[in-house]
Amino acid sequence: MNDLVAIDIADLHKRYSGGVDALRGLTLRVPTGSIFGFLGKNGAGKTTTIKVLLGMARPTSGDVRVFGLRAADPDASVSIRLRTGFVSEDQDLYDAMTVQDLIRFTAGFYPRWRADLEARYLRSFDLPPGRKVKTLSRGTRTKLALLLALCRSADLLVLDEPMSGLDPAVREEVLQSLVRHVADEGATVFLSSHQLADIDQIADHVAIIDRGHALVCGSLDDLRDRYRRIQIVFDADAPALSFRTPGVIRTHRQGRVLTVLASGAADAVAAEARAADAVSVDIMPLTLKEIFLESVNTSMNAEN
Amino acid sequence: MVWYKSWLDTRWRFLIGFAILLVLACGVIVNYSLSASLLPGLANQPVDTSTTAGRVLGELIRIEQTYRGFVWGQWWRQNLLQDATLLAVILGSGGVISNSKGGLFTLSLPASRHEWVATRAATGLGEFFILAMVPSLAIPLLSPLIGQHYSITDVLAHGLCIFVSAAVFYSLAFLLSTVFHDIWRPLLIAIAVACVVGYGEMIFQIDGLFRVMAGRHYFESGSLPWIGLTSSAAVSVALLYGAAMNVARKDF
């Protein structure tokens, strides 16, 4: 563990009472200063991971460290939370307080609270200080939750589906504020979402998890470089080729076309295909959405 | 800030309880002024003491022939005993860190679970201590208005008995609130337990929790029931410790 890694999760398992395995050997590293997209379907284990990070749930086994501190240790967890801003999926806040009261209340926990940022975000988010939190719209609650997370000078922002249920205008406003804040103030962002477009727009690193373990983890640019779809056309029905090149994730035959999904070594796969008398071989990059869907579908097929 | 949150969570229950008890304490003075002339006559009425109800009534009439006895019978043994039990349960219920609204926000703040639990427990107990002591001070303060005297020492001694004993039900409700996510089950279960204990002690004539709470020993002998108070405090501490352990190991 070093200063280059903000979050280090190794072989994390979480079994809830009742026998539900929410996490099954999750391993991932979040580089310091990155905007890390944490992708997965509903029920993949994203929220449980965040709860373990923040000490809200205890790991069954495995090691979770944030800033080098063990998240499962109650005292270390307080130190972690002192340096972490959190926005929950349902913007879980104190409904009975006014916006101003909640800001004052939250500021009281953080010695490094930034009054200048508070004033700026109150203005730019157009938050009504005197209004009760329970009367705020979903979008305004999200902005308030974001203000509370951003003004505490957090080294890490943990955002659990913050954009869910927001209209496109508010979503864009929140995303831009987040990016601007990170650019100005510098912080690691751990952004859980199943909104691939949001992650694609702002993240530089991603992990895709399914059924409690990571399928893919790395820099977004590396993933885009690594994953390729290779479309191979034959002059007769496509043969059931068995590729020797490592990194072939999935093959699909339809008529004369054999489609290969490969993680790395696409050129070697193409060379093998040409050696098998392919008429044409096209190598195409994958979008994040395609990488996500292919990873999850492959995982599902493997499990079934 | 943790204290402030605990105060926000409990303040209306405390303030409403305080107002109700204050009104009821003043009511004791009013009741005495209205019924003082009738009490000597009641002492001469024959009462069938072969039944539990008759025995209680006969004892009540005998005790209430004095002003100190009237206050004990009406206030410490009846009104405040019942109301304090109910208020203790109400103050103890409601969740320390609940799974309901705001729970995750609370847990995301840089304070330990032990700090939240200890602060919430201390806030509720502090409020309950005030409820057990302060409204009752209206009795010695207002007694001169009806030509009577009531000792502040009696208020403090009885208040201590009420506080320490009823704190058992506060702690029970507090523990149950760490088990259940809603406010109603801890409230109803703790009230049911209080009813069972209270009626059980009355029917089987057991010198138990409610006898300590009523301060009978102090009323009759002038000395505090230390064994009962210590036992009650020990039970409360055990229940609160259980609540803290339950919150510490819980997943949210």
pLDDT in tens, A84-120: 999 988 878 999 899 999 999 999 999 999 999 999 9
Q: Which CATH class is domain A5-211?
A: alpha beta
At B214 the pLDDT is 93
At B136 the pLDDT is 97
In percent, how much of chain A has pLDDT > 70? 98
pLDDT band for position A213 (cuts 50, 70, 90) = very high
Q: What gap in Å lies between CA B8 and CA B52, rounded to an integer? A: 44
At A59 the pLDDT is 95
A55 burial via Cβ count (<10 Å: 0-12, 13-18, 19+):
buried
Nearest-Cα residue of chain B relative to residue A107: B1
Please report residues of A whose CB lies closer than 8 A to that of B110. 78-79, 81-82, 109-110
Alpha helices in B64-208 (DSSP H): 67-71, 80-92, 103-108, 113-133, 138-142, 152-179, 184-203
Instruction: Name the stretches of chain B with pLDDT < 50.
Output: 99
For residue A32, give the DSSP letter. Answer: T
Q: Give pLDDT tens digits for A23-68.
A: 999 999 999 999 999 999 888 999 999 999 999 999 999 999 999 9
- The pair phi, psi for residue A155, each rounded to 5°, is -80, -20
Instruction: State the fold for domain A223-303.
Output: Alpha-Beta Plaits (3.30.70)
Question: A85, A152 in Cβ contact below 8 A?
Answer: yes
For the beta carbon of residue A203, count every other beta carbon within 10 angstroms.
22
Q: What gap in Å lies between CA A230 and CA A242, rounded to an integer? A: 14
Task: Indicate the residue of B102, B103, B252 with minimum beta-carbon distance to A57.
Answer: B252
Spell out a b/e string for B142-168, using b for 16 or more CB atoms within 10 Å of the CB, else e: bbeeeebebeeebbebbbbbbbbbbbb
At A1 the pLDDT is 47
Does the fold of domain A223-303 match that of domain A5-211?
no
Question: A132, A98 in Cβ contact below 8 A?
Answer: yes
Question: A80, B112 in Cβ contact below 8 A?
Answer: no
ipTM of the complex: 0.84
Laid out side by side, the sheet with A257-263 consists of: A248-254, A257-263, A227-233, A280-285
- Asked if A96 lies within 8 A of B8 by C-beta distance, the reply is yes
Q: What gap in Å lies between CA B219 and CA B229, rounded to an integer? A: 15
Q: Give pLDDT tens digits for A261-296.
A: 888 788 888 888 888 888 999 999 888 888 888 888
Longest CA span, chain A: 73
Please report residues of A whose CB lies closer than 8 A to that of B249. 58
B225 contacts: CB under 8 Å, gap ≥ 6: B161, B211, B212, B215, B217, B218
Question: How far is the alpha carbon of B127 from chain A, nearest alpha carbon, in Å?
Answer: 21
Tokens of B136: 């009752």
Taking each helix axis as running N to C, give the angle between helix B184-203 and helix B80-92, from 0 to 180 degrees, rounded to the nearest 10: 150
Q: Give pLDDT tens digits for A246-257.
A: 888 888 899 999
Query: A85 pairs with which residues across the strands?
Result: A157
Question: Does A300 have pLDDT greater than 80?
Answer: no
Question: A54, A158 in Cβ contact below 8 A?
Answer: yes
Place of tokens 């032990």: B114
Tally of structural domains, chain B:
1
Mean pLDDT of A60-84: 95
Q: Where are the domains of chain A?
A: 5-211, 223-303
Mean pLDDT of A179-191: 90
At B139 the pLDDT is 96
Interface check for A110 against chain B (CB to CB < 8 A): the answer is: yes
Parent domain of B10: 2-249
At A2 the pLDDT is 57
